[in-house]
């Protein structure tokens, strides 16, 4: 079989593969359309879920510390069911737990259980009384009596962490499954005393949670280090379950369930539908642009993108990734990177053809020369995604998952599928140079000569950011924090008849804006009920009375049909701290990777400085235009970080390549100018293709979508500017300043 026939079979095989993957992605398998876009798990904002309200048991008001600790522990527990779960305070003694993409409140309640306090109970108290019956697992006294008589050894607050594992028994050499405990300083002291007593008397210490003993281990030694091991589990699953109970069961307050509802999507079906339509239009325009601009290479890229989209849907669906707005941000970024990889390759191919090389060799050389930039850009972003997934929580983890999946797929489709398709088309007869186009070396633009202007513009924007934050801070708050960060008021209205989100948008939300001047209103419907829930910024008593009067006037809603409670932030201080730490660690890891790969710390430092520049500029827009800072803010910043670093690395790859022929330090400016000039079409084309989807989302999307799209537009434009005008010049300044280190 000759090469043409082989290529034809390969091309037809790829068409069949793309068609099969697309069919599975959009139709699925079986009655439930498994593996398709219709089987993707959606978050609370896109699909709704179960909302459970707990109340603190007892008449005394809990302290803010105990409520904060309880919320954090419940978050860890709820994340077992979904990383997109939300846990927040309502009123003074209630906690809401919202879990997305589920519809059976009773099943969730049964699995989640009623949160209670974790206790380590001695077999005998200080008076020698037996605290519990080992055979039946029943307590002989109440918890309060045990506390008074010294029967309680530890509470969950004394436990730092619990981890499941395995070890080899030194006597039998058999593998045994264990739970390793780590205690805080206070717990270490108390446990040392308790284990000394128990070991001497050959007693046990029972672990009591949620009204029952989950384990009653024997004490085989006095434990003074704060590190303990529980043995005797049948398998790893039992050990993991016990570790999970200990780790997330240390809730400071005893709670009881007071209500549970199935709530509808926050964005509504029309919002999801318009977002999907916008995404489809955006992808269609990107494909049209690729074909028109890159000709036969664009055809190969369009087919590869089709396979990419189908595979991403299949993987997200099969791995049950919960998709929310931040997750969609990860998808948008990964699509941009998939297009970018193809654009980098095609630019190299055209340069090779422009230098006089044959089309066949140009294709081969183009993929070879584009490989370092694609690998470095994608691996750098993949490192960030991995750190964010491991360290992050909630929506950050969802963003990291979709981004990581997208990056892996984008590299595969660009480097493997596009190459197979392009080689097949070439051997099938598409060998004319005109089908590919060519790029002739152009006169370098003097970017280095204009570095003073670029630095001045960037410096002015950064100073403007600082000034706006200071000014806003003097007025009360640096940024316009939404209820995700600042908390607010939850207003539950029992309507005379059920309403859709679209009806709420047109009939209820305008009352909030006209009466209170509040446009940011988050709405939910309650399934099988006439109740609607609206969350806004915190309302004072005067605002509440005005709202009640307006609701009665406009909709004939009586006061007894309305319930208002203040709620805490859904993104607590722990989550904010984890997010900040995750981003910092990710930035350091990216810097180290660039340093190692480019063998030059100045590349890494310049990249991170350009990245910080982009983030600050976007924050300037948030501060100046008073855009709402919520969950989408985190997703937007993370997207900009990934986009910025990838665009910068493409230019740095050219500088690294040109440095190999560097004869004099005086040529540094020429190298930087030539590298930026040769990649400027790539920078513009990638930005345009990414902007297309985001701009359409901004035009067609509802307010929540626009809240995400507008800052992302700013970030993409700023990222392109910093990559082209700032990053290379930063490297040039550092290279000139530390020239002696370069020679060494």
Q: What is the DSSP string of 228-284?
A: EEEEEESSHHHHHHHHHHHHH---SS-EEEEEEEEE--SSHHHHHHHHHHHHHHHHH
Q: How confident is the model at residue 51 (pLDDT cuts 50, 70, 90)?
A: confident
Q: Are 208 and 133 in contact (CB under 8 A)?
A: no
Domain count, the chain: 5
pLDDT at 296 (0 to 100): 93
CA proximity to 632, closest of 395, 404, 316, 465: 395
What CATH number is associated with residue 648?
A: 1.20.1640.10
Secondary structure element (H or E) that encloses residue 119, with its range: strand 118-122
Considering the domain architecture, whether residues 538 and 670 belong to the same structural domain is answered as no
Specify if 643 maps to a domain: yes
Q: How confident is the model at residue 195 (pLDDT cuts 50, 70, 90)?
A: very high
- Quick one: what percent of the chain has pLDDT higher than 70? 88
Helix residue spans in 319-412 (DSSP H): 325-354, 359-391, 395-412
pLDDT at 204 (0 to 100): 93
**Residue that finishes a domain, picked among 115, 138, 158:** 115
Q: How confident is the model at residue 322 (pLDDT cuts 50, 70, 90)?
A: confident
- DSSP notation for 75-87: HHHHTTT-TT-EE
pLDDT at 400 (0 to 100): 79
pLDDT at 549 (0 to 100): 92
What CATH number is associated with residue 536?
A: 3.30.70.3400
State the average pLDDT over residues 481-506.
84
Q: Other C-beta atoms within 10 Å of 660: how many?
A: 6
What CATH number is associated with residue 228?
A: 3.30.1360
Query: Among 167-171, 486-490, 497-501, 517-521, which is the least confidently predicted range?
Result: 167-171
pLDDT digits (tens, 9 = 90+) for 333-349: 677 777 888 888 998 89
Specify if 638 maps to a domain: yes
State the average pLDDT over residues 26-37.
73
Give the whole-angstrom CA distance, residue 714 versus residue 274. 22
pLDDT at 270 (0 to 100): 59
pLDDT at 704 (0 to 100): 65
pLDDT at 743 (0 to 100): 43
Return phi, psi of residue 209, to 5°. Answer: -145, 135
Tell me: pLDDT of 716 over 90.
Answer: no
pLDDT at 741 (0 to 100): 45
pLDDT at 446 (0 to 100): 93
Considering the domain architecture, whether residues 521 and 644 belong to the same structural domain is answered as no
Q: Other C-beta atoms within 10 Å of 62: how many?
A: 21
Give the whole-angstrom CA distance, residue 608 versus residue 648. 10
Tell me: pLDDT of 646 over 90.
Answer: no
- Whole-Å CA distances, 581 to 374, 499, 504, 569, 620: 27, 42, 38, 19, 22
Alpha carbon 172 to its chain centroid, in Å, reads: 46
pLDDT at 740 (0 to 100): 46
Three-state SS letters, 165-194: EEEECCCCCCEEEEEEEEECHHHHHHHHHH
State the average pLDDT over residues 66-76.
75
pLDDT digits (tens, 9 = 90+) for 281-304: 877 888 888 899 999 999 999 999
Contacts (Cβ under 8 Å, ≥6 apart) of 639: 329, 330, 332, 333, 399, 712, 715
Considering the domain architecture, whether residues 545 and 413 belong to the same structural domain is answered as no
Please, which residues bridge with residue 99 across strands? 50
Query: Best-predicted range by mean pLDDT among 93-102, 268-277, 332-341, 499-508?
Result: 499-508
Specify if 282 maps to a domain: yes
Q: Are 54 and 115 in contact (CB under 8 A)?
A: yes
- DSSP notation for 430-459: ---GGGT------PPP-TGGGHHHHHHHHH
**Residue that finishes a domain, picked among 66, 98, 115:** 115
Considering the domain architecture, whether residues 526 and 671 belong to the same structural domain is answered as no
Specify if 475 maps to a domain: no
Query: Who wins on pLDDT, 253 or 480?
Result: 480
What CATH number is associated with residue 61?
A: 3.30.70
Extract long-range pairs of 190-193: CB within 8 Å, 24+ residues apart: 190/153, 190/154, 190/158, 191/120, 191/153, 191/154, 191/158, 191/223, 191/226, 191/228, 192/222, 192/223, 192/224
Considering the domain architecture, whether residues 373 and 244 belong to the same structural domain is answered as no
pLDDT at 3 (0 to 100): 80
What's the half-sphere exposure (Cβ side, CA atoms, 13 Å) at 204? 17
Instruction: Give the β-pairing of 480-481 and 628-629.
Output: parallel
Considering the domain architecture, whether residues 549 and 615 belong to the same structural domain is answered as no
Helix residue spans in 556-630 (DSSP H): 573-598, 601-625
Give the domain extent around 409.
Answer: 277-435
Specify if 387 maps to a domain: yes
pLDDT at 362 (0 to 100): 93
pLDDT digits (tens, 9 = 90+) for 343-373: 889 988 998 998 889 999 999 999 999 898 8
- DSSP notation for 284-325: HHHHHHHHHHHTHHHHHHHHHHHHHHHHHHHHHHHTTPPB-H
pLDDT at 744 (0 to 100): 39
pLDDT digits (tens, 9 = 90+) for 692-711: 878 887 887 666 677 778 88
**Mean pLDDT (the chain, rounded):** 83
Specify if 476 maps to a domain: no
Please, which residues bridge with residue 29 across strands? 34
Considering the domain architecture, whether residues 557 and 578 belong to the same structural domain is answered as no
CA proximity to 207, closest of 120, 109, 301, 117: 120
Considering the domain architecture, whether residues 282 and 361 belong to the same structural domain is answered as yes
Specify if 23 maps to a domain: no
Considering the domain architecture, whether residues 580 and 534 belong to the same structural domain is answered as no
Q: Are 393 and 575 in contact (CB under 8 A)?
A: yes
Considering the domain architecture, whether residues 104 and 133 belong to the same structural domain is answered as no
Considering the domain architecture, whether residues 90 and 143 belong to the same structural domain is answered as no
Considering the domain architecture, whether residues 530 and 578 belong to the same structural domain is answered as no
Q: How confident is the model at residue 310 (pLDDT cuts 50, 70, 90)?
A: confident
Specify if 64 maps to a domain: yes
Return phi, psi of residue 466, to 5°. Answer: -65, -45
Query: Who wins on pLDDT, 631 or 710?
Result: 710
């Amino acid at each position: 079989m000759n090469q043409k026939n082989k290529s034809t079979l390969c091309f037809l095989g790829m068409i069949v593969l793309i068609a099969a993957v697309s069919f599975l992605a959009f139709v699925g398998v079986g009655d439930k359309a498994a593996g398709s876009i219709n089987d993707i798990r959606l978050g609370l904002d896109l699909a709704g879920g179960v909302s459970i309200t707990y109340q603190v048991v007892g008449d005394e008001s809990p302290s803010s510390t105990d409520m904060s600790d309880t919320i954090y522990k419940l978050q860890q527990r709820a994340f077992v069911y979904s990383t997109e779960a939300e846990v927040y305070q309502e009123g003074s003694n209630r906690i809401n737990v919202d879990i997305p993409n589920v519809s059976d409140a009773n099943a969730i309640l049964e699995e989640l259980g009623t949160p209670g306090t974790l206790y380590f109970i001695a077999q005998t108290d200080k008076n020698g009384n037996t605290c519990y019956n080992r055979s039946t697992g029943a307590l002989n006294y109440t918890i309060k009596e045990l506390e008074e008589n010294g029967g309680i050894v530890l509470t969950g607050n004394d436990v730092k962490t619990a981890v499941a594992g395995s070890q080899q028994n030194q006597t039998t050499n058999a593998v045994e499954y264990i739970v390793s405990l780590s205690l805080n300083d206070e717990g270490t002291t108390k446990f040392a005393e308790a284990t000394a007593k128990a070991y001497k008397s050959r007693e046990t210490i029972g672990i009591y949670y949620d009204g029952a003993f989950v384990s009653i281990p024997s004490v085989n030694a006095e434990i003074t280090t704060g590190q303990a091991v529980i043995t005797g589990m049948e398998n790893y699953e039992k050990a993991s379950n016990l570790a999970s109970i200990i780790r997330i069961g240390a809730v400071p307050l005893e709670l009881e369930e007071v209500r549970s509802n199935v709530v509808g999507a926050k964005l509504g079906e029309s919002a999801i539908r318009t977002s999907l339509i916008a995404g489809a239009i955006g992808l269609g325009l990107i494909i049209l642009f690729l074909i028109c601009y890159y000709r036969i290479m664009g055809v190969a890229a369009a087919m590869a993108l089709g396979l990419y989209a189908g595979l991403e849907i299949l993987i997200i669906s099969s791995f049950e990734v919960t998709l929310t707005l931040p997750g969609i941000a990860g998808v948008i970024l990964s699509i941009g990177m998939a297009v970018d990889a193809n654009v980098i390759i095609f630019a190299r191919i055209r340069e090779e053809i422009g230098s006089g090389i044959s089309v066949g060799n140009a294709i081969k050389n183009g993929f070879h020369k584009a490989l370092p930039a694609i690998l470095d850009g994608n691996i750098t972003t993949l490192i960030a995604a991995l750190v964010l997934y491991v360290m992050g929580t909630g929506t950050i983890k969802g963003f990291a998952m979709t981004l990581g999946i997208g990056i892996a797929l984008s590299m595969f489709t660009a480097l493997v599928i596009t190459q197979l398709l392009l080689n097949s088309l070439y051997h099938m007869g598409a060998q004319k140079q005109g089908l590919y186009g060519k790029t002739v070396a152009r006169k370098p633009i003097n970017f280095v000569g204009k570095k003073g202007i670029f630095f001045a513009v960037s410096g002015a924007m950064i100073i403007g950011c600082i000034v706006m934050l200071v000014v806003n801070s003097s007025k009360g708050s640096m940024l316009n924090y939404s209820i995700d960060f600042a908390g607010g008021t939850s207003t539950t209205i029992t309507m005379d008849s059920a309403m859709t989100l679209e009806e709420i948008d047109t009939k209820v939300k305008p009352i909030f804006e006209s009466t209170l001047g509040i446009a940011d209103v988050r709405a939910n419907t309650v399934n099988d009920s006439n109740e609607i829930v609206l969350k806004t910024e915190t309302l004072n008593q005067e605002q509440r009375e005005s709202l009640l009067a307006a609701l009665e006037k406009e909709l004939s809603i009586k006061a007894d049909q309305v319930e208002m409670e203040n709620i805490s932030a859904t993104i607590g201080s722990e989550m904010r701290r984890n997010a900040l730490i995750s981003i910092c660690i990710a930035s350091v890891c990216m810097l180290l990777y660039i340093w190692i790969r480019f063998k030059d710390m100045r590349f890494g430092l310049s990249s991170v400085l350009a990245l910080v520049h982009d983030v600050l500029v976007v924050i300037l827009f948030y501060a100046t235009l008073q855009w709402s800072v919520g969950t989408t803010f985190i997703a937007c910043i993370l997207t900009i970080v990934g986009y910025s670093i990838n665009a910068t690395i493409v230019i740095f790859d050219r500088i690294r390549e040109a440095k190999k022929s560097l004869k004099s330090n005086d040529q540094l400016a020429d190298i930087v100018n030539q590298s930026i000039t040769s990649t400027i079409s790539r920078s513009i084309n990638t930005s345009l293709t990414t902007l297309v989807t985001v701009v359409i989302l901004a035009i067609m999307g509802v307010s929540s979508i626009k809240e995400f799209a507008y800052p992302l537009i700013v970030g993409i434009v700023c990222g392109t500017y910093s990559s082209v005008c700032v990053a290379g010049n930063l490297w040039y300044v550092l290279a000139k300043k530390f020239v002696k280190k370069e020679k060494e």
